[in-house]
Amino acid sequence: MTQSPFGTKSFASCVLLLVASQLLFIACEEPPEIQGPALFEKTIGYTNYDECYDILELNSGDIVAVGYSGSGGLGEADFLLQRLSPDGSPAGDSFYGGPQFDQCYATLEDDDNNIYLGGLSNSWGQGYTDYHVVKLNDDGEALWSQTFGSPALEVAYDMIWTENDDLLLSGSYQETPHANYDVGVVGLDKDGEKLWGSHFGGPGDEVIRSSCLTDDGHIILAGWSNSSTTEDDDMFLAKLDGSGNVLWEKAFDSGGIERCHDVLLCDDGGFLLAGYRFIDFEKNRDLYLIKTDSDGTIIWDCTFGGELNEEAWAVQQDPWGAFYVSGFSESFSAGGNDAYLVKVSQSGRVLGHKHFGGVSHDYSRSMQIARNGDVLLGGYSYSTGAGVSDFYIVRTDTTVNPL
């Protein structure tokens, strides 16, 4: 019998939940590795830590990778934007920040080719860290920057457009020092003026890592919560109206620790949550997906991994309905961890996987399917580059026939 590419412990298990709580267990086939090398792999950095957390294909076809740099730009850490041509050639970089630390986690582009960076700032604002947004023109010149926050701590991990073409920041909010973290959202216009803000949470911590907008303009937030009676982290999903009022919120407890790093609005109007789970602290982490309908009711979930650790950090859907999930794998790697890409069917069946990296640790933290169908991965590498860690950018094709 052919040995599984997942090794002795490896598995890919999916559960489809049907009406009347009737369960249908679907045995996922062992995933064949997606064949085909990267179209390009780039490490870009300086003398210290440089880490990419979001990647975006611009209207022009160029690519921007954003994150933060601790390599001695303007402060302890700065927003860092790296621009590349479609073939991966470097096309410029820019640092933005103050005398302390400023970290970027998200980027957007508007129809006028202006670029927006969102994250946190310890250099400006009234708290330890505040939501921080910078608007740039197409040449990378800062047009304005704004901070919003309380006397304690705020972090913007994601940024999306609303139906009115306003910006929405989402992340974590702390009202006072040492308080629990709440869900935090802020709406602002393209001139940086704050339109509204909202925060809510339970007796524990709620952390929002991702957001999306429904076709009717509602806001979806996803992350994790430990406000349940077990006090373990559970994947968390909430729906808000366009003014930030909570319509519903749900936590998903599979009996272990689950965290969501990304949420996707699927072509059927439901949502796919991507992250990781483990049952106890003696077990390794596995990639974990939850597919819900538009009301947040679970349709199926899927767990897969190898002997060691895997995490999902980003998810996209192609025009044929297949899901691409990226993150990192310790089980399938050339060194410590490798950037990891998995293809999954609409019903949760694993179709294939591949990894990228060197002799040390390499991570994918973001992904976009480009207009030509290629997959763009953005993260950071400890394997190669100029510093301790460097931006790591991969462009690859899928190489698998459409469903």
In a domain, 324, yes or no: no
* Among 302, 186, 315, residue whose Cα is nearest residue 244: 186
The whole-angstrom separation of Cα 335 and Cα 350 is 24
* Residue (of 372, 392, 377, 322) closest to 352 by Cα position: 322
Query: What is the rounded average pLDDT of the residues 11-17?
Result: 42
Q: Is residue 133 part of a domain?
A: yes
Mean pLDDT of the chain: 89
Residue 192 located in a structural domain:
yes
- pTM score, whole prediction: 0.91
Q: Is the pLDDT of residue 89 over 80?
A: yes
183 occurs within a structural domain: yes
Q: Is residue 65 part of a domain?
A: yes
Whether residue 280 is predicted with pLDDT greater than 60 in this model: the reply is yes
Q: pLDDT higher for 399 or 384? A: 384
Say yes or no to pLDDT of 33 above 60: no
Residue at 252 is within a domain: no
Query: Residue 38 to residues 60, 120, 232, 355: CA-CA distances in angstroms?
Result: 22, 32, 38, 10
As given in the structure block, the two tokens for residue 255 are 């009996």
Containing structural domain, residue 111: 43-200
60: domain CATH number? Answer: 2.130.10.10
Predicted pLDDT at 399: 76
Distance separating alpha carbons of residues 99 and 360, to the nearest angstrom:
32
pLDDT at residue 29 tops 70: no
Per the CB < 8 A criterion, the answer to whether 109 and 58 are in contact is: yes
Strands 219-225, 63-69: pairing is: unpaired
**Total domains present in the chain:** 1
